[in-house]
Amino acid sequence: MDNKAIMAAARTIRGLSIDAIQKANSGHPGLPLGCAELGAMLYGEFLKHDPKKPLWLDRDRFVLSAGHGSMLLYAALHLSSYDISMDDIKSFRQIGSPCAGHPEYGACPGVETTTGPLGQGFATAVGMAIAETMLAARFNTGSGKIFDHYTWVLAGDGCLQEGVASEAASLAGHLGLGKLIVFYDNNSITIDGGTELSFGEDVAARFRAYGWQVLEGDMYDADEIRKLVALAKENKQQPSLIILKSIIGKGSPAVQGSAKAHGAPLGAEEAKIAKKAIGIPNNSEFWVDPEARAFFDKRLGELSAARSVWETLYANWRKKEPELAMELDAMLSGTSMSETAWPQYKQEESLATRAASGAALTAIAKAWPGLVGGSADLTGPNSTKLPGEAYSRNHRAGRMLHYGVREHAMAAISNGLALHGGFRPFCASFLVFSDYLRPSLRLSALMGLPVIYILTHDSVYVGEDGPTHQPVEHLAALRAIPNLLVLRPADAEETNEAWAMAMERRDGPTALILSRQNLGVFPKADPDWKATFRTGAYVAKNCHGEVDIVVMASGSEVELALKAASGLNTKSIRVVSVPSLESFLAQPKEIRNMLVPPEAKIIACEAGRSAWWDGIAHSFLGIERFGESGPGAKVALNLGLSLEALSNMINID
Q: Say how many Å lie between the first and final Cα of the chain, rounded.
A: 83
pLDDT over threshold 80, residue 259: yes
Rg (C-alpha) for the chain, rounded Å, is 28
pLDDT of residue 189: 92
Cβ–Cβ < 8 Å for 513, 455? yes
pLDDT of residue 1: 72
3-state class (DSSP) for residue 63: strand
Cβ–Cβ < 8 Å for 502, 452? yes
- DSSP 8-state assignment for residue 280: P
pLDDT of residue 615: 85
pLDDT over threshold 60, residue 313: yes
343 vs 335: CA distance, rounded Å:
20
In percent, the amount of the chain with pLDDT more than 90 equals 97
Average pLDDT, integer, range 86-107: 98
Average pLDDT, integer, range 607-612: 95
This prediction has a pTM of 0.98
> Active-site residue 407, yes or no?
yes
374 vs 643: CA distance, rounded Å:
36
Q: In terms of DSSP H, where are the helices of 448-488?
A: 474-479
Q: How does DSSP assign 191-227, residue by residue?
A: TTEEGGGT--S-HHHHHHHHT-EEEEEETT-HHHHHH
209 vs 139: CA distance, rounded Å:
33
Q: In Å, what is the CA distance from 131 to each residue of 55, 150, 367, 522, 555?
A: 15, 11, 19, 41, 34
Q: Where are the domains of the chain?
A: 3-304, 350-520, 536-651
pLDDT in tens, 541-571: 999 889 999 999 999 999 999 999 998 776 7
pLDDT bin (cut points 50, 70, 90) of residue 163 is: very high
Instruction: State the DSSP H helix or E strand holding residue 185, giving kind and residue range, or none if neither.
Output: strand 180-186
For 347-376, give one letter per residue: b (16+ CB within 10 A) or e: eeeebbbbbbbbbbbbbbbebbbbbbbbbb
Catalytic one among 407, 494, 497, 559? 407
pLDDT in tens, 201-240: 999 999 999 999 999 999 999 999 999 999 999 999 999 9
Q: What are phi and psi of 492, to 5 degrees?
A: -65, -40
pLDDT bin (cut points 50, 70, 90) of residue 652 is: confident
Please choose, from the candidates 158, 336, 188, the residue with its C-alpha nearest in 3D space to the C-alpha of residue 257: 188
pLDDT bin (cut points 50, 70, 90) of residue 651 is: confident
- Give me the numbers of helices (H) and strands (E) for the chain, helices first please: 25, 20
pLDDT over threshold 70, residue 653: no
Average pLDDT, integer, range 645-651: 93
Please choose, from the candidates 447, 532, 455, the residue with its C-alpha nearest in 3D space to the C-alpha of residue 481: 447
pLDDT in tens, 428-456: 999 999 999 999 999 999 999 999 999 99
pLDDT of residue 421: 97
**Neighbouring C-beta atoms of residue 82, cutoff 10 Å:** 23
523 vs 347: CA distance, rounded Å:
7
Q: In Å, what is the CA distance from 580 to each residue of 101, 278, 602?
A: 34, 57, 17
pLDDT bin (cut points 50, 70, 90) of residue 377 is: very high
- Could you please state the CATH topology (level 3) that the domain comprising 3-304 is classified under: Rossmann fold (3.40.50)
pLDDT in tens, 169-199: 999 999 999 999 999 999 999 999 999 999 9
pLDDT of residue 219: 98
Please choose, from the candidates 208, 204, 154, the residue with its C-alpha nearest in 3D space to the C-alpha of residue 46: 154
- DSSP 8-state assignment for residue 572: -
Cβ–Cβ < 8 Å for 368, 424? yes
pLDDT of residue 567: 82
Question: What is the residue type of 597?
Answer: P
**Fold match flag (3-304 vs 350-520):** yes
Average pLDDT, integer, range 481-510: 98
- Could you please state the CATH topology (level 3) that the domain comprising 536-651 is classified under: Rossmann fold (3.40.50)
Average pLDDT, the chain: 97
pLDDT of residue 571: 72
Instruction: Output the CA torsion 157→161→166→168 (10° steps).
Output: -60
Q: In Å, what is the CA distance from 259 to each residue of 19, 20, 28, 116, 263?
A: 20, 20, 11, 18, 8
- Could you please state the CATH topology (level 3) that the domain comprising 350-520 is classified under: Rossmann fold (3.40.50)
528 vs 262: CA distance, rounded Å:
58
pLDDT of residue 545: 87
Q: In Å, what is the CA distance from 500 to each residue of 86, 240, 346, 533?
A: 45, 40, 19, 11
Average pLDDT, integer, range 506-528: 98
Please choose, from the candidates 522, 419, 500, the residue with its C-alpha nearest in 3D space to the C-alpha of residue 129: 419
For 17-42, give one letter per residue: b (16+ CB within 10 A) or e: bbbbbbbbeebbbbbbbbbbbbbbbb
Using H for helix, E for strand and C for coil, what is the string for 342-405?
CCCCCCCCEEEHHHHHHHHHHHHHHHCCCEEEEECCCHHHHCCCCCCCCCECCECCCCEEECCC
